[in-house]
């Protein structure tokens, strides 16, 4: 059986700079920051108090109030983004066994874990309700989306942390390309939580005020939250229903570098990019934009730039390579899904989003990070890098549909 082409026909995003594709993109290319003081819990005992919370999300805009008590925030964000993607793609889904959903996550509904811990400590183990326990596992995000939308195809969750969104898109691409599914909702979701905020603060990886990827004086990442979902479908399906096509997925690659639990590896990052180029049947000269993992930590940015130089040689300094985490913070399992959305919209509008908060050049990061202002630039092929703890790296390749 011939492999089918896979295209992206719907976009749904919930972020700290906007809900829905249009608001998100308008603020992204304007360089708006979604970082603000944390309000979901008391941070007075922490040294840092800023994060990328989604302040204006009302789940009742997307979910019946009688269902909310059974859904954690990450599931709520995921359902909302999935509904936006379906609506944007104008695709009906209920009852179809040829449409599925794959969602990535890092922390799942960790806020529910925090609630369970609090009840257990204050009231005792027997007071922790079963329905609260059932909301924590990472698979609940995908399963609740499938249940809410009546999807009867493949429903699965991928918990490969910060690269999980790309993993989900890649797996969905495979399912459609090989004819197992006709369409997939693919992406990632994570909510802001005390667990994540505490963990990254204990790693001394959080910046005090702002995220400054590739800047010489960068001080770390910002913890964020959000959800990004893309509607993928076969080219035949999209053409038959006259759907708008944002871009085409032409390949991806995965790689575990087995280098270190938290530290990135130049060889590991370079390897996954080279594999993605090979599997997509393109050359280094074909790449017009790289959406960087770009967390703003000293180690990540230096290593990612070194890997780009290893792959692209002298051209690495000329390829626009920006980090939207400078605006959103690190949305964990949602990060590479939201960044894939940014790649699609960059292709669609011929505009590359900026890396904001850039002040002082770093000789180790001497790339075109699209500093502070968006760049009007034609984009035919974009790479989306995502690098996770444990060396779980992924690179997605999307191309202008022709």
Catalytic residues: 162, 293, 330
3-state secondary structure at position 44: coil
Separation between Cα atoms, residue 329 and residue 50, nearest integer Å: 10
CA torsion sign, 259 to 260 to 262 to 266?
negative
Q: Which of 97, 65, 77, 54 is nearest to 145 (CA)?
A: 77
Separation of alpha carbons 276 and 272, rounded Å: 6
Q: How far is CA 383 from CA 239, 347, 367, 380, 394, in A?
A: 25, 11, 15, 10, 10
Give how far the C-alpha of residue 225 lies from the chain's centroid of Cα atoms, to the nearest Å: 10
Are 401 and 248 within 8 A, CB to CB?
Answer: yes
Q: Give the DSSP letter of residue 190.
A: E
Q: What is the DSSP letter of 2?
A: P
For 149, residues 6+ apart whose C-beta sits below 8 A from its C-beta are 79, 82, 83, 86, 93, 94, 101, 185
CB distance 367 to 214 below 8 Å: yes
Whole-angstrom distance, CA of residue 53 vs CA of residue 58:
13
CA-to-CA dists, residue 293 to 189, 215, 300, 308, angstroms: 17, 14, 8, 12
As a whole number of angstroms, the distance between CA 103 and CA 147 comes to 14
Task: Give the position of tokens 């890396």.
Answer: 355
- Measured from the Cβ of residue 315, the count of other Cβ atoms closer than 10 Å reads 13
Query: Where do the H-state alpha helices sit in 150-264?
Result: 164-177, 194-202, 235-240
Q: Judge whether 154 and 181 are in contact, CB under 8 Å.
A: yes
DSSP state of 246: -
Whole-number Å distance between alpha carbons of 264 and 308: 13
């Amino acid at each position: 059986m011939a492999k089918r082409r896979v295209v992206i026909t719907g976009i749904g995003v919930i972020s700290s700079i906007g809900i829905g594709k249009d608001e998100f993109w308008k603020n992204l290319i304007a360089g708006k920051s979604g970082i603000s003081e944390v309000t979901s819990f008391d941070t007075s005992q922490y040294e840092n108090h800023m994060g990328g919370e989604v302040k204006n999300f009302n789940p009742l805009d997307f979910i019946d109030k009688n269902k909310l008590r059974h859904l954690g925030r990450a599931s709520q964000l995921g359902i909302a983004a999935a509904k936006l993607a379906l609506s944007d793609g104008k695709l009906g889904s209920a009852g179809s066994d040829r449409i599925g959903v794959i969602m990535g996550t890092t922390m799942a509904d960790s806020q529910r874990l925090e609630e369970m811990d609090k009840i257990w400590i204050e009231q005792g183990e027997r007071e922790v309700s079963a329905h609260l326990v059932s909301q924590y596992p990472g698979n609940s995000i995908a399963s609740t989306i499938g249940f809410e939308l009546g999807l009867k195809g493949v429903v699965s969750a991928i918990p490969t942390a910060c690269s999980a969104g790309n993993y989900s898109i890649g797996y969905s691409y495979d399912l459609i390309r090989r004819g197992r599914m006709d369409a997939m909702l693919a992406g990632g979701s994570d909510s802001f939580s005390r667990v994540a905020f505490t963990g990254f603060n204990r790693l001394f990886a959080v910046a005090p005020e702002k995220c400054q990827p590739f800047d010489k004086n960068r001080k770390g990442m910002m913890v964020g939250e959000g959800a990004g979902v893309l509607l993928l479908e076969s080219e035949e399906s999209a053409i038959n229903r006259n759907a708008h096509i944002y871009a085409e997925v032409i390949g991806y690659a995965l790689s575990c570098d087995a280098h270190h639990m938290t530290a990135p590896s130049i060889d590991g990052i370079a390897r996954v990019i080279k594999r993605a180029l090979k599997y997509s049947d393109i050359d280094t000269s074909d790449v017009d934009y790289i959406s960087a993992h770009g967390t703003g930590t000293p180690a990540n940015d230096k290593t990612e730039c070194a890997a780009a130089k290893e792959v692209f040689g002298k051209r690495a300094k000329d390829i626009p390579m920006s980090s939207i985490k400078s605006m959103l913070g690190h949305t964990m399992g949602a990060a590479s899904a939201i960044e894939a959305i940014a790649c699609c919209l960059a292709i669609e509008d011929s505009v590359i989003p900026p890396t904001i908060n850039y002040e002082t050049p770093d000789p180790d990061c001497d790339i075109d990070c699209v500093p502070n202002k968006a760049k009007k630039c034609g984009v035919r092929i974009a790479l989306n890098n995502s690098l996770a703890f444990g060396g779980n790296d992924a690179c997605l390749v999307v191309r202008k549909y022709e």
